[in-house]
Structure 1
């Protein structure tokens, strides 16, 4: 079975079992405190061998999603209190999982708080020429796309790539390990939210605002000490249409199909 799976996916059978369980935990099918079935019966229910199941459960244990207690079996933990960045990465690596709007809203609000601080770190010592050139080129590329004409899906995709590039520049420039790890683990979420955001804002106004802001920082019209509050206020304002969209159109996380069963079906 493992050899056949390899023909369809890069993931091993234990990987697929782990994806299945991670997704079920995230969507709430396996809630915190839930005790998983005994290994033999659980393996039969999933249609897998016990060794592969055991390996998958070890992965979940390392991610602090489950806890094994001798004599009591395996219990699901509250991932909101115990899991780390590896859980976030794992969620984004399950294509059959629809994350829902809550995590997008939380991600949007989190980075609205983080990015202004990283902007301050970028310019607090000096706003040198290399920074100015990089930012200018990114923003100019966006304006060139806007000048091409109607906002097609393809042009929105390209605009989103440049917006992501600018955000990554702010997040990675100072080389903070913690911020870098957070940015890495959330890259898929950020890319998706940025793409949706562009559908709800006046993109040209946004790009021109950023252009003028960096000009004002460079010539001293925007004091560095005011950058954080200035950009945080703007971030909350310009992302508000997407926040309202998420709140008015809430989507619950769900599995579109079983990561495990869909692959096993291909191998049968």
Structure 2
């Protein structure tokens, strides 16, 4: 039976996890390249936990250049079953104020320069993204966040932009008014897609730092203001992770309402004899459960 293991992918402002026992940084080799950084592993409240700084320690990777495939592969390779994404975001909603946490449940992907799948010609796979986050993990994260005293919003549509520049006023208004998005960020895609392909339980907590550029009383994004809010958000995020670790015993590695751990059951279309051996070798961690199974 697979043991539950939680990974936290920390975004801007979150570069470590408090209270890890037997903590150590370890390098993990991946056939998809080097991950963003070494992975910090240990136990927290009796649960195995891994922490990966998405941008690397010292914030060396831009959103476009984050090695998303290597990150997800490396986490799966060390036994991770659940991934909690924590990232900064802008808000399109007055009620989702700076300092609030939003439990993301939908995405619109506007990124254009990133590799978005582990699969390609030689092994064609189509996974469902209708419900892109694990409902069970998202609910547990929301409860854990509330225990920190932060204002939590259940559900929100995250607009993933390429960056690194922030939105124009026209874009901000379009995303908010025409597209119905709630928050905007640069890093949850293709991360969520790759986690689904790797059959990992994935959920995202978006920490609001600003109102993007649509808000008439706030104007354009102010970097100094963002940094100030990030510091407070990071402390609450670390507390949230501690509370979530205590709840992980109720989230088994296998089985969830969203079916995350069986996302590949009917997704592989390429006939077994036509599957590229070199690609199959790279997919040993991500898709080893189904890689040699018939269609």
TM-score, normalised with respect to structure 1: 0.29
Q: Which structure would you say has the larger Rg? A: 1
Determine which structure has the larger strand proportion and give its number.
Answer: 2
TM-score, structure 2 length as denominator?
Answer: 0.28
Higher relative contact order (CA 8 A, sep 6+): 1
Higher helix proportion, which one? 1
